[in-house]
Every structure is written in C-alpha cells, then in structure tokens.
Amino acid sequence: GRTINVALVGNPNSGKTSLFNVASGSHERVGNYSGVTVDAKQAVFRQDGYTFNLFDLPGTYSITEYTPEELYVRRHILDAMPDVVINVLDASNLERNLFLTTQLIDMDLKVVIALNMYDELEKSGLKLDYRNLGRMIGIPIVPTVASRGEGIRELFKTVIDVFEDNEPIVRHIHINYGKDIEHSIRLLQDEIWKNTDLVARYSSRYLAIKLLCNDKNGYEVVEPAANFAEISAVAEHERQKLERQYKDCVETIITDAKFGFIAGALEETCQGINLRKNRPDDRVD
Ligand code: GDP
Ligand code: MG
Ligand code: K
C-alpha cells in the first residue's frame, strides 16, 4: 500500500485533535484551552491498505502570516507539501470556518472537508445540503462527529479517493476576484511561469495573489528565483495600479470577495443560516 501524508487544518476548537486521536489511536490532550505551543503532532496508522502519516497542526482562523500559528501552518503546507489536507470545520459556525477554506482553494491543494460537530448542526435545526456545497466549492465534504468517532472511516476513504484522483467532486475552482484583479493575477502568473522551479513547487495563482497582497512570506518564497527582479517589478506595478483604482489594499478587496463567495455558496445550500455574523476580524481572542 502507499503512504499518504495528511495535514489537519482548521480553526481552534473545530475538533482537529479529537479527530487526530480517534483516527490514530493517540491520546493527545483535547480541550478548550488557548496558549498553544506551536508544534505539530504526528501519528501513523493504516486503513484500507494505505498508510496515513497524519499531522495535527495548530488551530488558525487564516493562513496569512500574522501569528506564529498561521505561519507554522503555511510553512507546513508549502514545505512539507502534504498529499491531502483535511480541512476540519466546526459545522455550527460555518461561515467563519469556511474563510480558511477559501485560502486553501487559492493554494490549489487536494482538500477534503471534515464537517465536524455535525451533531451540533443537526441540533441547531439548520438544513445544509453539504453535497451540493461540496460541488460548489470543488471539495468533497464528509460529516463527522470526531468526539464520538463517527464518520472517520468514511473521511479517510474519501482522502484515498482524492489522493488517487477517483473523487468526481474534486475540481480546482478559483474564486473570482473581479476583472481587474484577475487581469493582474494573470500578468503576474505569466512572469512566474517563466521560472520552472517555482511552478514545480507552488501554485502560480497562489503566489501571484500573495505578491499582489504585498505578503512578506510570499516574497520570501519568490526571492531565490532567477527572475525575481522581473516578477517583483510586475507585482509592484500591478499592486500600485489596483490600490490607486480601489483606494484600498488588495488583501482587503480579496477578503471581501472571499466572504461574498462564502455567503453565495451558503445562501444556495443552507436554510436558516444568519450570514455575515462571524467575520474573523470580529474575533476576540
Ligand atoms: P482542536 O482545537 O481543533 O484540536 O479541537 P479539540 O479536538 O480540542 O476539540 C475541542 C472541543 O470540541 C473538545 O471539547 C471536544 O471534545 C469537542 N468536540 C470535538 N469534536 C466534536 C464533535 O464532533 N461534536 C461535538 N459536540 N463536540 C466535539
Ligand atoms: Mg488541538
Ligand atoms: K483546543
């Protein structure tokens, strides 16, 4: 059997460690405390003839570069390059949790969503057509109740299907950031594509987005490239043009578009949800 490297990515308290423990038979501490030590737990287990090398990563609301946890998760994804990411969602707080999903979509990764706390969703009376939601975002969704071990086998079966490209739902969708930003992304991608080392390791769209957002870690990734001067000149020019035009930084425009995308997808698939209540910037921790 083959080995699949899998990383658990999700908001704090979405149930990542519970899922990690129940899948791997580990006994890591589960709970509601913050003050996280930034390190990954790793466990190896087998299912259906495959070996899973599973990483439990620190909880984050976002994968930018503003906290050590965010940077840790981002570096793990970019450097360790997991074969499949399991995005663990707290189903009782969908809109907020899906923000991180939109960042995974930008990264063009193989993703499976564990729709965790599914028991809470059912109690809440919300009606979610999660299969249709999965089709809309191009990511298969498997309901789980990690604290009771429910849905976990099915989850890892789906990980195998995504790894082997058997899963019909998977399609690499792009969130549309509007005509002007999409034009700048394409120009910058043209420049990035000239460097085969870069495109062998990273999604050119993801790098283009990060550079347009003036993201420091994005620049660090591109800096060793032989054509760094050309890439950064195009990025600088396009970013300044967009910021003059929108009188706002590109990151803000992209964040708004992501929330628009989530709201649209949930409006189509979820009855009874109250949208735009839980933006990550409203968080209090
Ligand atoms: P993490 O911060 O993402 O690692 O989340 P934890 O695994 O530590 O879980 C946070 C809390 O949610 C713990 O009290 C778990 O027992 C609980 N929990 C985990 N999964 C579920 C679930 O599916 N349903 C419910 N109701 N509680 C869960
Ligand atoms: Mg945890
Ligand atoms: K926790």
| Ion ligand 2 nearby residues (CB, 5 A) | 16-17
Confidence (pLDDT) at 217: 87
pLDDT, residue 172, reads 82
With a CB cutoff of 8 Å and minimum separation 6, the contacts of 154 are 142
Predicted local confidence at residue 37, as pLDDT: 52
* Count of all residues that appear for the chain in the document: 285
Strand order in the sheet with 111-116: 41-47, 50-56, 3-10, 84-90, 111-116, 141-143
Q: Give 179: exposed, middle or buried? Use CB within 10 Å, 0-12, 13-18, 19+.
A: exposed
| Res 26: pLDDT | 78
Q: What are the sequence ranges of the domains in the chain?
A: 3-163, 179-247
User: Cβ distance 20 to 28 under 8 Å?
Assistant: yes
- The pLDDT of residue 41: 86
Q: Express each pLDDT in 169-228 by its tens digit.
A: 778 899 999 999 999 999 999 999 999 999 999 999 999 999 999 999 899 999 999 999
Closest among 123, 122, 143, 121 to 131, alpha carbons compared: 143
Q: How far is the centre of ligand 3, averaged over its atoms, from the C-alpha of 30 (Å)?
A: 6
**Which residues of the chain are under the pLDDT cut of 70?**
29-39, 276-285
The answer to whether 224 and 128 are in contact (CB under 8 A) is no
How many whole angstroms separate alpha carbon 180 and alpha carbon 245?
9
Assigned fold of 179-247: Helix Hairpins (1.10.287)
Q: For residue 243, which phi and psi values (nearest 5 degrees)?
A: -70, -35
Residues lying with their CB under 5 A of ligand 3, a single-atom ion = 13
Ligand 1 center from residue 65 Cα (angstroms):
25
pLDDT of residue 43: 92
Give the nearest ligand 1 atom to 88 CA.
Answer: 3
Decide: 60 in ligand 1 pocket, CB within 6 A.
no
Neighbouring CB atoms inside 10 A of 64's CB total: 19
Class of domain 3-163: alpha beta
Predicted ipTM > 0.90: yes
Q: The whole model's pTM is what? A: 0.92
Q: Is 145 in the pocket of ligand 1 (CB under 6 A)?
A: yes
pLDDT at 39: 67
Q: Is the CB of 125 under 6 A from ligand 1?
A: no
Identity of residue 91: A
- What pLDDT does residue 279 have? 52
Query: Measured between alpha carbons, how far apart are the two ends of the chain, in Å?
Result: 43
